[in-house]
Structure 1
Amino acid sequence: MSDSLAPAVPSGAGRPPDPAPSPQLASTTSESGTRALSAQRVIPLRSPGRWISSAVALVLAAQVVHGLATNRFYQWDRFGYWFARPVITNGLVVTLEVTAFSAVLGLAGGVVLALARLSRSPVLRATSWLYVWLFRSVPLIVVLLFLYNFSALYRTLSLGVPFGPAFWHFDESKLATDMVIAVVGLSLNEAAYAAEVVRAGILSVDQGQHEAAAALGLPRHYQFARIVFPQALRAIVPSYVNQLIGLVKSTSLVFYVSLLDLFGSVQSMGSTYPGDVVPLLLVATVWYVILTSVISVVQFYVERHYSRGALRTLPPTPLQRLRAGLPALRARIRRETAI
C-alpha cells in the first residue's frame, strides 16, 4: 500500500549532473570546425553579363585599332613626317602661349567678377551680371573678329581724365598685334565662364566656415584668401579644368585673326599640300589629345592635393591602383580558371 502512494521519482533523479566540457575539448572542436569551413571551396558569384560586355568592348576597340592601322587613307607615313615638323611645333608653341596667358588672365578676371557678383554693392553686382550675360551670349569667333577690326572704330587710344583732356595717346594698330588680339579675346570670353565657376565654388563652402572666420575677427580679405578660397578650390578645380580644356580647343579660332597656332599651321599646310589633308588633321588631333591628357593628369594631382582636408585617406594614384590591382586580378583569374 505504501509503495503505491510513494511519489514518482523523475528519471535521472539521484544521478550526478553531466560534467561540463573541458576548455581543451571546446577549443579542439572549434578548431576542427574552422578547418572544415576553410577546406570548403568558396564559389564566386558569376557575372556573365559583365564578361560579355567586356568582350564586346574589346572586340570593338580591336576593330577600331585594326581599321586605323590598315586603312591606307590615313597615310600614317605622312603623319609621321608632319608630326614633329618645325611648322607644326611652332604652331604648337603659339597654342601653348595663347592658352597659358588666356587661362591666367581669364581666371583672374573670373575671380574679380565672382567677388563683384557676391558683393554687397548693387552696382558691382549688376555690372558683373551684365558682363557675364553679354560674353556668354556672344560667340567667341564674333568677339575675336570684332577685336580684329577694332581699329576701324577706334584708331587711337588715350589715357587721361574721364570725359576730359587726354594725356597719352596710343596707336591701336601698333598695340593690337595678332597675339594680343587672340589673348584679349579669349581672356574676355574665359573670364565670363570662370566667374560662374568661381562663384559656385565659393557658394559651396559651408556657411559655418564664413561665420567662424568672422567670429574670429579676421579681415575679410584674410577670410577669403586663407579660409574660404582654399576650400572652394575643391569645387572650382574640376569645373575650371573643363573650361581650360575647352580653352585649348578654342585657340583653334585664332586662325581667323591671322595667328598661326597649331590648327592654323595645319590649315596652312593642308592648303599647300592638298594630298596630305587627312594626315595633317590627324597630327592636330593627336597633339590636342596629348595636351588635354596632360591637363587631366595635372587636374588629378591638384584635386588630390586639395582633398586632404576633406578625405580621411587620399585617393590612390594610377600607379598605386595598378600595383594594388595586379595581384587581385591574378588571384581572380586563377579562381575563375580553377572552377
Structure 2
Amino acid sequence: EEGFGSFELTLQEQPMTEPNVEVHEEDDAIYLFTSGTTGQAKACVIGHKNLHHYFAEIAGQREFPAGERFLSVHPLFHMSGVLSILNCIYHGVTMIFLADSNPALIWDKIEEEKITTMLAFPAVYSYMLEELNKKERNISTFKVAQSGGTKVPETLIQKYMEKGIYMVQGYGSTEGWVVTSWHPMMGKEKMSSVGKTLKHVELKIVHPETGDELTTNEVGEIHVRSPYMFKGYWNNEEATKKVVKDNWFNMGDAGMIDDDGFLHIMGRYKDVIIRGGDNVYPDQVEDVIHEIHGVLEVAVVGVPDDFWGEIPRAYIVKDSETAVTEESIIQYCKEKLASYKIPEVVFVEELPKNALGKVLKRELREGVLVK
C-alpha cells in the first residue's frame, strides 16, 4: 500500500551486522492490535519484560524434536503470528510461510516441505479436513495441529486424531497473551475445555455485576493476571482502566473452572443470548451443531423476538456434498440441548470475517447476511 514498503525490501535495505541497540526491560517491544471483533481495534503495548518472562518461563521450557518444520499461515500482524516467529527463532525451528490459507495449497505445502506442525484457526482446519477427504496425500510428517483464536470443536479434534494428527489448542488474547493450553495428554475427557493455566498465570471467575469471585463450576467473567500481560492500550489510558483493575485483566469471555482446574469457555459475554430470562451461551450451541456431519462452520447469535425478547439463531456453512437440512439440525439440537437453547437455522455460503479470519458476529446480528 502507499506509504508502506514490502517486508522483503526492508530486509534487503538493512545491514547483516548485529544492531548495537540498548534495550531496557521497561521499554516497549511490540504494538499489536486487537482483532476488533466486538468493536474498534486497539493497539496493545507488549514490553520487553513481558516477552522475557514468556520465553524464560514458558517457551524456553519447551523441547522441539530435531528436524521440526513449522508452517505459518497465520497473519503476521496477529499475536499468534508474532509468537510463532519468535518461538521458531528462539528454538531454531525451520519456518515456512504461506500467504494463502487455501486448504489445497496448505496440504500441497505440507507434502512439499514435509511440515511437522502448523498453527491455524479452527475454521481453517475444518476446510482442510474437507479437502483432505477428496484426495490421497502423503502427510506422514504432519503430527501436530496447533489452534486457537476461537474454541476448537471436539469433533474436529477427534477427526484429526483419527488421522494420527494431534490437535493442541490454546486460549488467550492480545492483551492477556497466552493463558491456558490443552493437549491430548491431558485426557480426551477434557477436550471440551481449553486446558489449564500456564506457569505463573493466575485465573479467576468473577460475577459480572457484583465483582465477587465465584467458585468452581460457576459461570462468570474470566479474569487473568500474569507477567506476560500487556502494559496497556497505546495512548488510551481510559480504555485500559476499563479492563484492568488491580493488575487483573478482564478477558471479556464467559467461562467456568471445573473441579480439576480446567477452564471451559462459553463465549464472549457480549454475545450471551438472554431468552426469556434464561442465558444461552453461543459456544454450547455451536459445539452441538459442529457434531453434525456436513457442517463446516457455525455462528450462533441472538436476534430480537417479540415474545422472548431474544432467541438464538444459527448461521451455518455446510458441505455442498452433504444432505444436512434445517429440520435435521433442529432435531439433533432437540436431542442434545434444553428447549430454550434450540436455535433457528439459516444456511449461508460464508460467514463475515475480519482480516484474521475471526467471525464478526455483530454483522450477523445487524442482518448483513440474508437467507
What is the TM-score normalised by the length of structure 1?
0.19
Higher relative contact order (CA 8 A, sep 6+): 1
TM-score, normalization by structure 2: 0.18
The structure richer in strand per residue is 2
Select the structure of larger CA radius of gyration: 1
Bigger helix share: 1
